Structure 1
Amino acid sequence: MGSVTSATEQPGPSFSQRPAAAPRLIATDLDGTLLRDDKSVSERTVAALAAAERAGIEVFFVTGRPARWMDVVRDHVHGHGLAICANGAAVVDLHGDGRFVEVRPLETEDASAVVGTLRDAAPGTSFAIERTSGIDYEPSYPPFHLDPGAVVAPAEELLTEEGGSPGPILKLLAHHPEFAPDDFLALARTVGGEYASFTRSSPTALLEISALGVSKASTLARCCAERGIAPQEVVAFGDMPNDLEMLSWAGTGYAMANAHPEVLAATPRHAAANNEDGVAAVIERIIAA
């Protein structure tokens, strides 16, 4: 690719449904899905991932996390070593130096248009800019994850060549202190949908904004096409709105029991919650079958 516990599934109809075809690839979100709430990977999950690889099933981590937050699963990426990060904006080789294999950037002009549009439509919005080199943010942006290397300035300044960190923009983040998360997402899509793709994975009103057409699903599709893997040969797991397209694209999509209501409604297949090793339980059954 160029510049890329003992839990079972929940009872009910989803329990008996099997993958659409013999799986060749498992694509799993991390936070709220593969990872427990304490951000750990359970021993059961580690064993299930390794067993899938031994069975010839590739495993891809597909996450909204930036590459620099992938240490928690770096040791569990097997043969190919690749992970899809930043909601599809980057494919990263986690073996060795963690180089970017592919970047699908949000152009500065579009990021600037989104900033201006959201400032007008939702006064009080604050922004951060995630680049291949790290994150910069505005003074009013919440201290979710303080980065000592960040440039702190208004977004309009951060989006200039001289004002922010170097490197392509992977995603823009927008936070509002008062909006309900889903309402903020709907508003942003209405007023800024011509410039970028909007989604969210946080319990707060924090939006993740990528270039038009960039999503977990679209980048996963590119990775699968390069391997000759069809959608019906993919099993995917997720829990939040940023997973919806991936779960729909994959032949077999599982919503975690702890997932957002929209995600639970999007697929009849529901895995046990992340704290109950739901992904591992499904993988174990796939291998046993």
Structure 2
Amino acid sequence: MTTAPSRTAGDTPAALPKLAAFDVDGTLITRDGVLTDRTAAALEALADAGVMTVLATGRPWPQTTTVVRRARCLTYAVCLNGAVVMDIATGERIADRSMTHTEAIEAAEITRKLLPDVHLAVDLADGRHLWEHEFAPGMPSDLLADLQISRVDDAIAAVNGAVLTWLVHAPSTDTLTVVSELASEMPLGTEIRPSGLEMAEIAATGVSKSTGLEIVCQRYGIAPSEVIAFGDGLNDIEMLRWAGHSVAMSNAPESVRAAADVIAPSNSEDGVAVVLEALLAGRSRNIATAPR
């Protein structure tokens, strides 16, 4: 049985939301990178009921294609934690929220100065990914298999286009410490936050999954109160707090679970499907105790 955190299951939607947003890794797919038949069917049923289904992920757009192919009902993808928003049906990039060249270079130089053992990677707006030779974080195997990476000696020197995000890998320092130590040092126009992987990320100020979702919502006149969001990572906390109704996976850290209305079974137990099936069956006020 799952349990509700600070808010209760009675606060879950009495009617279907207009938009449902799903984190990918640790939420929608299993640890092995699989979108199960049960979860795919639940997403299809939700879309058939008239709910817009949207991805909200730290992954770059090309690395969402496995999920998109399995769940053809998905409409938009908020990628790189809000830096890019894609219309899935047309393949059109409807938002691209990069740092200025000056902001990006200054932020990376400050990071290198304050974290001597740091290794950097950069996601460029033209779709390229530049990784320094020693940059070697843990990433989902399916993401690594598809990611087109160019290895460079110095990512800062190699930047020759608009920067969407920097990934900050400091082997001797945990992610939250990196964020805490660098947050006040970032130049105006940039911010550092957890990336969803075991490292921090630098992006333009105000870029997040929730602001990416707002771009989609504004297209259709959808209010945050009409959104349900699912997530498991530190990079999902703002989204979970922003959405009118929120679900954290049981495999999420305590701080993430505390930000949600409801705790679902883990991603290895089809937790998203459990919640969606209950919602579609009219048991929304009992989501927190929905049977597996």
Shift in alpha-carbon separation, 1:69–1:12, aligned structure 2, 3 A: closer
Shift of 1:261: 2.0
Shift of 1:58: 0.6
Cα distance in 2 between the residues matched to 1:152 and 1:246:
34
Identify the residue that residue 180 of structure 2 maps to in structure 1: 186
Cα distance in 1 between the residues matched to 2:149 and 2:252:
33
Asked if residue 83 in structure 1 is aligned to residue 77 in structure 2, the reply is yes
Shift in alpha-carbon separation, 1:279–1:232, aligned structure 2, 3 A: same
Cα distance in 2 between the residues matched to 1:179 and 1:149:
24
Cα distance in 2 between the residues matched to 1:102 and 1:265:
30
Consecutive unaligned residues of structure 1, counting only runs of 5 or more, are 1-8
More moved, 67-76 vs 248-257: 67-76
Cα distance in 1 between the residues matched to 2:14 and 2:185:
38
Match of 1:236 among 222, 229, 236: 229
The TM-score normalised by the length of structure 1 is 0.87
Cα distance in 2 between the residues matched to 1:70 and 1:34:
11
The TM-score normalised by the length of structure 2 is 0.86
Identify the residue that residue 86 of structure 2 maps to in structure 1: 92
Contact 1:20/1:252 (8 A) holds in 2? no
Consecutive unaligned residues of structure 2, counting only runs of 5 or more, are 139-143, 283-292
Contact 1:237/1:254 (8 A) holds in 2? yes
Asked if residue 24 in structure 1 is aligned to residue 28 in structure 2, the reply is no
Shift in alpha-carbon separation, 1:10–1:253, aligned structure 2, 3 A: same
Identify the residue that residue 2 of structure 2 maps to in structure 1: 10
Cα distance in 1 between the residues matched to 2:219 and 2:196:
31
Asked if residue 136 in structure 1 is aligned to residue 134 in structure 2, the reply is no
Amino acid at match of 1:157: A
Asked if residue 156 in structure 1 is aligned to residue 166 in structure 2, the reply is no
Asked if residue 121 in structure 1 is aligned to residue 114 in structure 2, the reply is yes
Contact 2:35/2:70 (8 A) holds in 1? no
Shift in alpha-carbon separation, 1:202–1:61, aligned structure 2, 3 A: closer
Identify the residue that residue 249 of structure 1 maps to in structure 2: 242
Contact 2:137/2:169 (8 A) holds in 1? no
Asked if residue 108 in structure 1 is aligned to residue 101 in structure 2, the reply is yes
Amino acid at match of 2:133: P
- The residue correspondences of 1:66-81 to structure 2 (distance < 5 A) are 66-78=60-72, 81=75
Asked if residue 271 in structure 1 is aligned to residue 267 in structure 2, the reply is no
Shift of 1:115: 1.1
Q: CA RMSD for the aligned pairs?
A: 2.2
Shift in alpha-carbon separation, 1:253–1:80, aligned structure 2, 3 A: closer
Asked if residue 43 in structure 1 is aligned to residue 42 in structure 2, the reply is no
Shift of 1:15: 4.6
SS at match of 1:70: helix
Shift of 1:265: 1.8
Shift in alpha-carbon separation, 1:287–1:21, aligned structure 2, 3 A: closer
Cα distance in 2 between the residues matched to 1:79 and 1:45:
12
SS at match of 1:75: helix
Cα distance in 2 between the residues matched to 1:19 and 1:191:
41
Shift of 1:121: 1.5
Give per-residue Cα distances to partners, 1:232-274, cap 9 Å, x unaligned. Answer: 1100011111111111110001111111221112224211111
Shift in alpha-carbon separation, 1:283–1:182, aligned structure 2, 3 A: same
Shift in alpha-carbon separation, 1:27–1:12, aligned structure 2, 3 A: closer
Contact 1:67/1:85 (8 A) holds in 2? yes
Identity over the aligned pairs, expressed in percent?
34
The number of residue pairs the alignment matches comes to 273
Shift of 1:153: 2.9
